Structure 1
Amino acid sequence: MQRPAPLRLLLLAVMAVLAGLFFAFDLEQYLTLDFIKAQQGDLAGQYNRHPVPMLLGYFALYVAVTALSLPGAVVMTLAGGAVFGFWPALLVVSFASTIGASLAFLAARFMLRDWVQARFGPRLQRINDGIAREGYFYLFTLRLVPAVPFFLINLGMGLTSLRVGTFYWVSQVGMLPGTAVFVNAGKELGKVESLSGILSPSLIVSFALLGIFPLATRKAVQWIRNRKAAEAHDDKEKRMAEHDYDLIVLGAGAAGLTVTAGAAQLGVKVLLVEREPLLGGDCLHNGCVPSKTLISSARVFHQMRNAPRWGLPQPEFATSESPVVDFSAVSARIRSVIADIQPHDSPERFRRLGAEVAFGDAAFMDANTIRIARQGEAHGAYRTVSAPRIVIATGSSPQVPPIPGLADVRFLTNKDIFALPALPESLIVLGGGPIAMEMAQAFRRLGSEVTVIQRSAQILSKEDKDMADIVQQAMQREGVRFMLNTAVRQVRYATCGTCTDAPPAHAGFAPQTAAAQSPESQVVGAQAVDPETSDSQSPSSPSPGVQSSGSQPSGSQTVGLQCGNGERPMIAVDIEQPNGMPHTLYADSLFVAMGRTPNVQGLQLEHAGVDYSAKGIAVDARMRTSRKHIFACGDVTGQYQFTHAAGYEGGIVLANAVFRLPRKADYTWLPWATFTDPELASIGMNEKTARARNIPYTVRTEPFSGNDRARAEGETEGMLKMLLDKRGKVLGVQIAGPHAGELINEWVAVLGGGISLATLAGGIHPYPTLGEINKRAAGNLLGEKLFSNRVRGLLRLLFRYRGSAGMAS
């Protein structure tokens, strides 16, 4: 980094003045052998009377002489031995000389290194590379040879990239033998006639050999390693020539496409294998893109139905009791958006980039060989390919919870909910995560009666409760019913009205297989209605959209959405709440969103020796599996199941697998967002995370009600919450409010880029914008310090300000 020129000149001037004064006043005469020998007795007497001040003064003077590269350090070393004795002098001189040398090193670096590197950088490249690899060996060798002027070493090393800490400890150790020789010679100062008499030729040669020996040994070991590496490289080249590709990527979602595109453009022979008929992965076809398209349609329809809020006339359909949304048209719009994006993720594009694309089911035969079952060909038609490096990016699928009866009914997941032929009149949602909340609100806005069943006491359980509650309360006002702390006991078909068991799944329905029942199958929800206290649970007074059935077993209570005429089978969900009373919910459709399962089945990872579990493939920070040449990224690792995380991890794999650089993933400032209305976005730690890590924190909040643009848009619900550590450093930010997913992006730049809150608060934001809430949150935090009593008192002292003009007389 370029240093400020005035500061460099100031330091240079100070050093020049001090050195000039040293020579102008002929202070060098006090650092000669004759002077020290003449004053030895007086100095020893002073040391006996005042040992500590003498040692401190000697230490400070020695540091100054070496830091300014003045002559006399050798004489001072002799004087130390003569006055203080061997061990005290050795201790003081060892540290004083190293500290002084380090100051000279830093001064040279501060004043000259940028200029030298800018002017002679290309010529110094080999020196810089050598210092980066073996700088400590070079420095150690030079320090062991007292014949080399140490001030030149200090200044020269300051111009290189050698780390300060390395310079210090190597100097400390390397100068110790020479220091001991001179301190010991100082004990016999009367016998020393000249400085050259201390260092005999044999002693200098001994020091030189002592310094050269470790470097020579290092070079010999390096030569042996290079020979072995060369032989290994030849074997590797031979093996690579036997492989079909440089890199094989399994899976064409966000992670796999990132790796493939980057590797292909870098000249890597890469094969991309995808089991589905289209590239793009779950995000494009069953996740991010279709869900956000559906949310957009639902938001527009919701605004149309609530037009009077914006001073507009109420549409006629807003008062209609019958469904008015043609969901097939909504589905058609979703398909059109996917089709618009598909060319970017098409095989043709990746082939143009230089990759080969194959479709089929892939499985490992060994650690370097993949068998691909070719799609559209006869059973048993396989293709076998190999590569020295393989990337697993096969994504994840909806998790099917082990709930009794679930496998016998047709339920929806994100794989099929966007292609429904018609809008369901009623929908039960199992789960309280992001996709569950997004779909629950979207279908409610389009006209479905929606009930959410959540096994825990909070939706969006990874978020702080106060932020999740903002979302839940908004959805409740729109008519979404929540049943928290609720266990699902059974799912079945039932005929509405009589509640008799219905036949098995419809012809053409493909029931999905549920895992074996386990304790984890309980789904819990607490917004239950107590039949003893609520009229809405009484058979004689059902709530709108709720039907009670008298044909239930004794002691049970049925709570169902309006079932219709009983001609078609409804889905019945038997639940149990904390009060132990069983209930039954009815709905046309059941949406299951209770987590994701990594797609590892069929890969035969055991053939490659890759460690994995039900949670995903285990990887290190470089996205390497238990077999270091096999990488895994994206949802299949079970870590951060976001599309943007998958793309980021794909970049980590690209750095390690293609560039062979040891880049590690860092999720400290990984953002995420739930696209409900209001949205909920986060980055860094929230309160739950900070408490789990025992990190002290304070909280600052900023409500959207104070944002003028939010008022203009009629979206004042929600707030920004900032967590700070005890030093006032930001630990994390959560935003619940309009366009929170967009607003969090500024915090990605601020926190990820190390930008101060003062810079954020001082930045100019357009008015009126929602983004001003970020500036205001930072500004209010800084304002607590700026508008303090201490600052007011200081200004009153400096400028004689007289206090507030608005105080009552």
Structure 2
Amino acid sequence: MSGTAVARGAWWRPAAFGLVIVLVVAAVIALGRHRLTLAGLEAHAAALGAAVAQHRVAAFALYFAVYVVATAISLPGAVVLTLAAGALFGVVAGSILVSFAASIGASLAFLSARFLLRDAALARFPGLFARIERGIARDGALYLISLRLVPAVPFVAINLLAGLTSLPLRRFYWASQIGMLPATLIFVNAGASLATLGPHQAILTPRLIMGLLLLAALPVAAPLLRNALAARQRYAGWRRPRRFDRNLVVIGAGSAGLVTAYVASALKASVTLIEQAAMGGDCLNTGCVPSKALLHAARGGMDYSQARAAVRAAIAAIAPHDSVARYQSLGVDVRRGHATIETPWSVSVDGETLTTRAIVIATGAAPLVPNLPGLADCPFATSETLWDIEALPARLVVLGGGPIGCEMAQAFARLGSTVTLVELADRLLGREDDDVSAAMAAALRRDGVAVLTGHRAVAVHRDDAGFSLEALHGDAPVMLRFDRILVALGRVPRTAGFGLEALGIALTPAKTIETDAWLQTILPNVFACGDVAGPYQFTHVAGFQAGFAALNGLFAPFWRFRPDYRAVPAVTYTSPEIARVGLNQRAAREAGIAFETTRYAFSELDRAIAEGDTEGFVTVLTKPGSDRILGATIVGTQAGEMLTGFTIAMQHKLGLKKLLGVIYPYPTRSEAIRAVAGQWRQRHASARGLAVLAWFHARRRG
């Protein structure tokens, strides 16, 4: 019954909103007839000036009311009213009038939007407003002030959009009052200047020129002023040292931290690198290097003992590149221990405090371990502890069908384990296209992996016969016996234990450190990069971001450098390899981006035919009617190596026509790049142009 009452009573809000729209349109028509323009007011300037001089208080009050109503119902002509206020009441009185009347009118518009539109907007765009609310919660007033300072941002739009958020009215009012004041003073001053001009005076007086210059400077000054106010507010409570021990302190010696320290030292900065575990981070010790070495060993027919030796050898061979000795030789002060950020300018390492102008957090991520009943009491492994398994498991269950799960399932199957891969979704590699997922599943099954998609892990059990994983396939229970279980369900950023909470550094819903486009946290001298910052958890992206974090940490606010993610490659190193850059069909459809698809199969490639390895394909997405590359996916041998051609093309905005004009060595797999570009070119050839060519050649034959 209450639901019915609400439904019956909800009609009046859209009706009220419609009535407001009708009133605004009627007012605009009426004002258009009375010419509420600068020229129209100029024609009546003498009469208006005389009326104001005779009844100044009454005129002030009336004009104030008109201004409030005009802004409250979002009528056009606010600039004309502001100029007229300066002309009629002078700079001081006109500025007071406009400043308070505009803020009051804006607040009324703010309340109207909240009352009439907020519920509908939240229901229609919940994700958008969730992001806006997080920004408002962090620095809503400062953000609003910066918008008010930029005259190009529509006054009406700010009022209405702010009303749809949870920003308190009081904060909105004072932010509007402060933010609109500079533009108000400039426009009122311009109006007062125009009013004093005689018929033969120059229009561009020094006073008016100065006002126009200030108006032009506002869009540039607004962000600087906002950042200064935000920094002052966020640094409150901490005392900034007069001198610093270091230019940069980097926390974490994985890929992101190592590159940050390397770049900073190359630029002759004083930098300290802090790591509490092994140098090289996860990539060297438990991630990229050992997993690729294991895959190579399994592909080469080694047994498990030989494969483990190959993994250790690979780590040992690469470790000197990331060692303490090497970085000390580069001039980096390397500290082994636990780092805690005490203030925005100081970091302690096991009791010793270092002061620094900037801090870069590069603490990486750790494997996600689910709260699965019985898991803690069984011999489970993650991507970090997998390398401690001394004997090959006879029966291995892999939990998770992402890149890590697929790679390790294939490696252990080829080494001799009986492998079962369990995935909750209905397919593997959930970010890839359906045909890519299908190719991955087929490859794993050929290697003997039992691929169970659509299975939800429920619990781990132990009995006299050993361990088993209970899973549900729909409503049907499935029991999977195992000797080891590998948890490969993703990774979570390492953000705890470094002092972020005390500094008020915020996290995103994905639990990464919240940064801006320049990798700055809410504290302008504290940066984050790599897996702990996201949005990608790739070693190559961590290293890419690290260079920008180092440059921004050393040179901001004088120079800032923004990473460009237009071409981020990703590779799954199974056989066949799966490589992708940019959009695939699934991502393009989800984003509502139109695309054309060109596909080339390796069964047509000479090198693949010669080697008897024709599995796979190349798929390229382009903008409709254009050769602009939106993304490329490659499935096949050496797909990761081939992907670089498309990555370079996307990064430098080169289309398929440019790739078609490159000379590729024969016979190589890279010729597939030219082949797919040729297929696109042939499909987009002009029928009329071909007909003209046929006519031309026929005439030349006589």
Greater C-alpha Rg: 1
Report SS of the residue matched to 1:663. Answer: coil
Q: Distance in 2 between matches of 1:331 and 1:611?
A: 41
Offset of residue 742 of structure 1: 0.5
Aligned equivalent of 1:576: 472
Q: Distance in 2 between matches of 1:741 and 1:623?
A: 28
> 1:369-420: CA deviations, max 9, x gaps?
22222xxxxxxxx222221211110000110011111111121111122342
Offset of residue 213 of structure 1: 3.9
Aligned equivalent of 1:707: 605
Offset of residue 217 of structure 1: 6.9
Does the 8 Å CA contact 2:570/2:579 hold for their aligned counterparts? yes
Report SS of the residue matched to 1:616. Answer: coil
* Distance 1:762-1:326 versus aligned 2 partners, 3 A rule: closer
Offset of residue 239 of structure 1: 4.8
> 1:229-257: CA deviations, max 9, x gaps?
9xx9xx9xx95543322211100011111
1:734 to 2:626 alignment: no
Report SS of the residue matched to 1:242. Answer: coil
What is the one-letter code of the residue matched to 1:780?
Q
Aligned equivalent of 2:489: 594
Correspondence list, 1:473-512, <5 A: 473-496=442-465
What is the one-letter code of the residue matched to 1:773?
A
Offset of residue 659 of structure 1: 2.7
Does the 8 Å CA contact 2:505/2:523 hold for their aligned counterparts? yes
Offset of residue 215 of structure 1: 8.3
Does the 8 Å CA contact 2:362/2:528 hold for their aligned counterparts? yes
Report SS of the residue matched to 2:545. Answer: helix
* Distance 1:471-1:801 versus aligned 2 partners, 3 A rule: farther
Q: Distance in 1 between matches of 2:428 and 2:213?
A: 66
Correspondence list, 1:583-732, <5 A: 583-612=478-507, 615-660=511-556, 661-728=559-626, 729-732=628-631
Offset of residue 210 of structure 1: 6.3
Q: Distance in 1 between matches of 2:442 and 2:258?
A: 39
Correspondence list, 1:380-399, <5 A: 382-399=351-368
Does the 8 Å CA contact 1:249/1:392 hold for their aligned counterparts? yes
* Distance 1:598-1:209 versus aligned 2 partners, 3 A rule: closer
* Distance 1:670-1:797 versus aligned 2 partners, 3 A rule: same
Does the 8 Å CA contact 1:575/1:582 hold for their aligned counterparts? yes
> 1:604-656: CA deviations, max 9, x gaps?
21111211256221111111112221111111124200000101111121221
Q: Distance in 2 between matches of 1:492 and 1:676?
A: 31
1:747 to 2:646 alignment: yes
Aligned equivalent of 1:251: 252
Does the 8 Å CA contact 1:702/1:777 hold for their aligned counterparts? yes
Q: Distance in 2 between matches of 1:598 and 1:347?
A: 24
Gaps of 5+ in 2: 1-198
Offset of residue 722 of structure 1: 1.1
Q: Distance in 2 between matches of 1:647 and 1:347?
A: 18
Report SS of the residue matched to 1:572. Answer: strand
Report SS of the residue matched to 2:593. Answer: coil
Report SS of the residue matched to 1:387. Answer: strand
Offset of residue 444 of structure 1: 0.7
Offset of residue 211 of structure 1: 7.5
Q: Distance in 2 between matches of 1:740 and 1:479?
A: 23
1:793 to 2:691 alignment: yes
Q: Distance in 1 between matches of 2:306 and 2:691?
A: 67
1:429 to 2:398 alignment: yes
Aligned equivalent of 2:299: 299
Q: Distance in 2 between matches of 1:741 and 1:216?
A: 54
What is the one-letter code of the residue matched to 2:653?
G
State which drifts further: 660-669 or 699-708.
660-669
Offset of residue 351 of structure 1: 1.3
Does the 8 Å CA contact 1:405/1:491 hold for their aligned counterparts? yes
Q: Distance in 2 between matches of 1:477 and 1:268?
A: 54
1:287 to 2:287 alignment: yes
Aligned equivalent of 1:412: 381
Q: Distance in 1 between matches of 2:469 and 2:416?
A: 21
Offset of residue 596 of structure 1: 0.3
What is the one-letter code of the residue matched to 2:487?
V
Does the 8 Å CA contact 2:530/2:543 hold for their aligned counterparts? yes
Report SS of the residue matched to 2:684. Answer: helix
Q: Distance in 1 between matches of 2:263 and 2:608?
A: 41
Q: Distance in 1 between matches of 2:535 and 2:285?
A: 22
Aligned equivalent of 2:681: 782
Does the 8 Å CA contact 1:669/1:684 hold for their aligned counterparts? yes
Aligned equivalent of 2:267: 266
Does the 8 Å CA contact 1:367/1:609 hold for their aligned counterparts? no
Q: Distance in 2 between matches of 1:217 and 1:639?
A: 39
Does the 8 Å CA contact 2:247/2:554 hold for their aligned counterparts? no
Percent identity for Structure 1 against Structure 2: 37
Does the 8 Å CA contact 1:408/1:492 hold for their aligned counterparts? no
Does the 8 Å CA contact 2:566/2:650 hold for their aligned counterparts? no
Aligned equivalent of 1:196: none
How many aligned residue pairs are there? 491
Aligned equivalent of 1:340: 317
TM-score scaled by length of structure 2:
0.66
What is the one-letter code of the residue matched to 2:406?
M
Q: Distance in 2 between matches of 1:328 and 1:716?
A: 32
* Distance 1:745-1:207 versus aligned 2 partners, 3 A rule: same
Correspondence list, 1:205-220, <5 A: 207=204, 209=206, 213=210
Q: Distance in 1 between matches of 2:325 and 2:675?
A: 48
Offset of residue 761 of structure 1: 0.8
Aligned equivalent of 1:353: 330
> 1:701-747: CA deviations, max 9, x gaps?
10011111112222211111111222333211101111110010011
Q: Distance in 2 between matches of 1:458 and 1:203?
A: 78
Q: Distance in 1 between matches of 2:511 and 2:246?
A: 30
Q: Distance in 2 between matches of 1:220 and 1:652?
A: 28
Q: Distance in 1 between matches of 2:699 and 2:639?
A: 42
Does the 8 Å CA contact 1:681/1:735 hold for their aligned counterparts? yes
Gaps of 5+ in 1: 1-199, 302-324, 374-381, 497-569, 804-809
TM-score scaled by length of structure 1:
0.57
* Distance 1:357-1:577 versus aligned 2 partners, 3 A rule: same
* Distance 1:736-1:801 versus aligned 2 partners, 3 A rule: farther
> 1:660-708: CA deviations, max 9, x gaps?
2222222221111000100000011111211111112221110011111
Q: Distance in 2 between matches of 1:297 and 1:794?
A: 58
Does the 8 Å CA contact 2:251/2:275 hold for their aligned counterparts? yes
Does the 8 Å CA contact 1:328/1:420 hold for their aligned counterparts? no
What is the one-letter code of the residue matched to 2:327?
F
What is the one-letter code of the residue matched to 1:286?
T
What is the one-letter code of the residue matched to 1:298?
A
What is the one-letter code of the residue matched to 1:711?
I
Aligned equivalent of 1:242: 243
Does the 8 Å CA contact 1:240/1:388 hold for their aligned counterparts? no
Q: Distance in 2 between matches of 1:218 and 1:717?
A: 63
Offset of residue 269 of structure 1: 1.2
Q: Distance in 1 between matches of 2:419 and 2:317?
A: 31
Report SS of the residue matched to 2:306. Answer: helix
Q: Distance in 2 between matches of 1:207 and 1:438?
A: 72
Say which of 336, 340, 347 aligns to 1:370. Answer: 347
Does the 8 Å CA contact 1:440/1:452 hold for their aligned counterparts? yes
1:764 to 2:659 alignment: no
Aligned CA-pair RMSD:
3.0
Does the 8 Å CA contact 1:244/1:387 hold for their aligned counterparts? yes
